[in-house]
């Protein structure tokens, strides 16, 4: 059975971070009085909500890229880039809620981590065909 | 080749359930006259839409947790917890559309199933490092 | 190690397409002056945004179905259906932005590709139990 322990651990960390973002949205619903199913009505609530939604969009790219990187290159390198992604996402979350204009740094960090995983995998796949 | 038949079957059931939620949103677009790309304008339509979106958020946590649980623990236990997740999601879907205030039961059931898969995997990974 | 090269390549292509959709949303934010965290306010911006969100919903069904199809049937057939999915998604993207009423063709193409992967996998799983 293939297990890839470090990549598995980073995957768990990423989905736990996403779970925490969901808790922050739920809490913001109470604080700013935005009952479900509404998703707008207060600017701070909308920042929490957009942090969660943008992270969801990126999980759809990051998790496949992470596992492809682990399978095609190595568990350690994929997990390392995965850790960079998580750090970028935490910076993004904190900065976006404080001021949406400052969200670029964390965003770029997690984007570069994801693109690195994609390019790393692409390199190995192309080489396997040669 | 590793196949994990029960986990594969539960994965198919989860994505078919999500497909059905999409059909319900499409039908609600017609019934409540909300042409795309709008996603608001009628409270019942918004409930259907939020059921689908919330399930999407949880699929991003559930599917990785399900497969990690299957790989690190067993096909049968992971699939069993996956079945609990699906039942929780169906309860959530029906209750949310009837009355958003009653959505907690189904939500908690699927959350506990997901957290169980995360903890089960974490236990095995940590043990593998010792 | 199992690698499934064609399925890996199609997975990369799908997430790169999704990345491009994100870039188009970011560009539309500038063009139509919709600063984050808002996701509405201009009909053309909303089309770009809905293309991305609908693709996210379908990635949650397509990627698991693609890999189940590759594992249970074959790398080549799964990747072929995955390529059809990508073509359908590109048609959908272009048509939706031009006129939301013309989004059906691309949508149906990618839906049939996903359902084919689901049915193919279901066939093999059921047969494995007999």
Q: What is the pLDDT of residues A9-51, one digit of tens each?
A: 999 999 999 999 999 999 999 999 998 778 888 999 999 999 9
Tokens standing for residue C125: 């799983």
The yes-or-no verdict on residue A98 having pLDDT over 60 is: yes
Specify the pLDDT at position B41.
87
Within 8 A of A118 by CB-CB distance, chain C residues are 12, 15-16
Specify the pLDDT at position A127.
95
Q: Are A61 and C15 in contact (CB < 8 Å)? A: yes
- Mean pLDDT to the nearest integer, A76-104: 97
Which residue of B47, B64, B103 is in closest CB contact with A15?
A: B64
Q: Are A72 and C19 in contact (CB < 8 Å)? A: no
Q: Are A38 and B60 in contact (CB < 8 Å)? A: no
Compute CA distances B117 → A6, A10, A64, A111, B112, whole Å.
17, 15, 19, 28, 9
Specify the pLDDT at position C26.
94
Distance CA B87, CA B106 (A): 8
Tell me the mean pLDDT per 10 residues along chain C, length 130. 89 98 96 86 93 97 98 97 98 96 96 98 95
Task: Examine the predicted complex and report whether its ipTM is higher than 0.90.
Answer: yes
Nearest-Cα distance to chain C for B105, in Å, is 24
Per cent of chain C over pLDDT 90 is 89
Residue C43 burial by CB count (10 A; 0-12/13-18/19+): exposed, middle or buried? Answer: exposed
Q: Are B3 and C65 in contact (CB < 8 Å)? A: no
Helix (H) / strand (E) containing B38: none
- Mean pLDDT to the nearest integer, A46-62: 97
Nearest-Cα distance to chain B for A73, in Å, is 19
Nearest CA in chain A to B68: A8
Tokens standing for residue A56: 């969801």
The yes-or-no verdict on residue A1 having pLDDT over 70 is: no
Distance CA A41, CA C20 (A): 30
Are the C-beta atoms of residues A97 and A47 closer than 8 Å to each other?
Answer: yes
Model-level pTM? 0.95
Nearest CA in chain C to A118: C12
Confidence of residue B116 (pLDDT cuts 50, 70, 90): very high
Confidence of residue B1 (pLDDT cuts 50, 70, 90): low
Q: What is the pLDDT of residues B15-55, one digit of tens each?
A: 999 999 999 999 999 999 998 778 888 999 999 999 999 99
Specify the pLDDT at position A56.
98
């Amino acid at each position: 059975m293939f297990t890839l322990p470090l990549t598995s651990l980073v995957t768990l960390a990423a989905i736990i971070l996403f779970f925490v973002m969901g808790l922050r949205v739920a809490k913001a619903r109470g604080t700013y009085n935005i009952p479900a199913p509404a998703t707008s009505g207060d600017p701070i609530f909308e920042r929490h909500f957009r942090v969660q939604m943008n992270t969801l969009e990126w999980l759809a790219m990051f998790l496949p890229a992470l596992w492809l990187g682990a399978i095609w290159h190595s568990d350690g390198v994929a997990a390392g880039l995965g850790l960079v992604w998580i750090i970028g996402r935490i910076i993004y979350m904190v900065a976006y809620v404080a001021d949406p204009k400052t969200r670029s740094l964390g965003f770029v960090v997690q984007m570069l981590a994801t693109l690195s995983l994609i390019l790393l995998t692409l390199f190995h796949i192309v080489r396997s065909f040669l």
